[in-house]
Amino acid sequence: MSILHNPQALLFDVDGTLADTEGQGHLPAFNKTFAAHNLPWRWSKDEYRRLLTAVPGGRERILEQLKRTPPPEHCNQTLAEYAQQLHREKGHHYTDILRSGAIKPRPGVTRLIEEAYSSGTTLAIVTTSARESVEALFEYVLPAKQRHYFSLLICGEDVSAKKPDPEAYQLAVERLCLPPDNCLALEDSVNGLAAANKAGIPTLITYNEWTKDDDFSDAWRVVESLDNRGDGEPVTLAWLTDAHT
């Protein structure tokens, strides 16, 4: 898929794209929650990598685990209710990790956001993660001023389906009043890529530890990070414009 015009809007995914929140934040928060409830499992990196693609959504991953390994008999909630409780508590642990300063933005993220905002390019967040988690990332990881650079936040509460469903991206372009091919999605995962592609939005992939071996052949471009597009040079607005065909 090629960009037909210079992108008027950059649509950023959150987890794994803005920061390595999966390995440094969500996974330890899940396991801390499981330990607090004396549940008989902890997710390894390999298992979590599988879940990231196979089961979109944190609450949904917990529910899938509960179906495979039921909770103690004294639990008087339905599996769905218990999954919701665990997911809520996991969110508190995740915020604590962000607050500690342990997670930093991925290379080039804050620079490109600053450059895009200064140029007048529209910025939006398009994620199916919880709004609370997104706001916590802006509060504790990204520069606080950059929260106000984003004219639109589409979060999990705004849609009925997780990525790879295109609903979040479709809603974003609808609210921005822009043609899909005038936007550029920035993603890190096959589910995010599929969601953007189904919405007709070209996608720049910045792969990470969790997704580096995935198939991104349908992406517009694939780069190691926003500070290294493969030739040691950073991703800039000028490069996005020059490389648009």
Q: Which domain covers residue 61, as residue numbers?
A: 22-99
Q: Is the peptide bond before 40 cis (omega within 30 degrees of 0)?
A: no
| pLDDT of 245 strictly over 90 | no
Residues 48 and 94 in one domain: yes
Instruction: State the pLDDT confidence band at 74, using cuts at 50, 70 and 90.
Output: confident
At 81-133, the pLDDT tens digits run: 999 999 999 999 999 999 999 999 999 999 999 999 999 999 999 999 999 99
At 191 the pLDDT is 96
Q: How many domains does the chain have?
A: 2
Residues 54 and 169 in one domain: no
Instruction: State the pLDDT confidence band at 163, using cuts at 50, 70 and 90.
Output: very high
| pLDDT of 229 strictly over 90 | yes
Q: Give domain status of residue 198, yes or no.
A: yes
- Catalytic residue, from 13, 20, 165, 188: name it: 13
Cα dihedral across residues 109, 111, 114, 120: positive or negative? negative
Q: What angle do CA 212, 180, 203 make, to 5 degrees?
A: 10
What mean pLDDT is reported for the chain? 94
| pLDDT of 70 strictly over 60 | yes
Q: Give domain status of residue 3, yes or no.
A: no
Listed residue (170, 180, 186, 211) closest to 125, CA to CA: 186
223-239 average pLDDT score: 95
Q: Is residue 214 annotated as part of the catalytic site, yes or no?
A: no
Query: CA-CA distances (angstroms) from residue 11 to 16, 26, 184, 186?
Result: 14, 22, 6, 6
Q: Give domain status of residue 208, yes or no.
A: yes
Q: Which one-letter amino acid corresponds to residue 161?
A: A
Which percentage of the chain shows pLDDT scores above 70?
97
Number of other CB atoms surrounding residue 2 within 10 Å: 9
Residues 155 and 191 in one domain: yes
| pLDDT of 224 strictly over 90 | yes
At 63 the pLDDT is 96
CATH code where residue 54 lies: 1.10.150.240
Instruction: State the pLDDT confidence band at 4, using cuts at 50, 70 and 90.
Output: very low
Domain closes at, from 43, 73, 99: 99
Residues 116 and 173 in one domain: yes
At 2 the pLDDT is 53
Q: pTM for this one?
A: 0.93
At 165-185, the pLDDT tens digits run: 999 999 999 999 999 999 999
Domain closes at, from 39, 69, 99: 99
Q: Is residue 15 annotated as part of the catalytic site, yes or no?
A: yes
- Catalytic residue, from 15, 20, 188, 214: name it: 15
Q: Give domain status of residue 4, yes or no.
A: no
Residues 89 and 116 in one domain: no
| pLDDT of 1 strictly over 90 | no
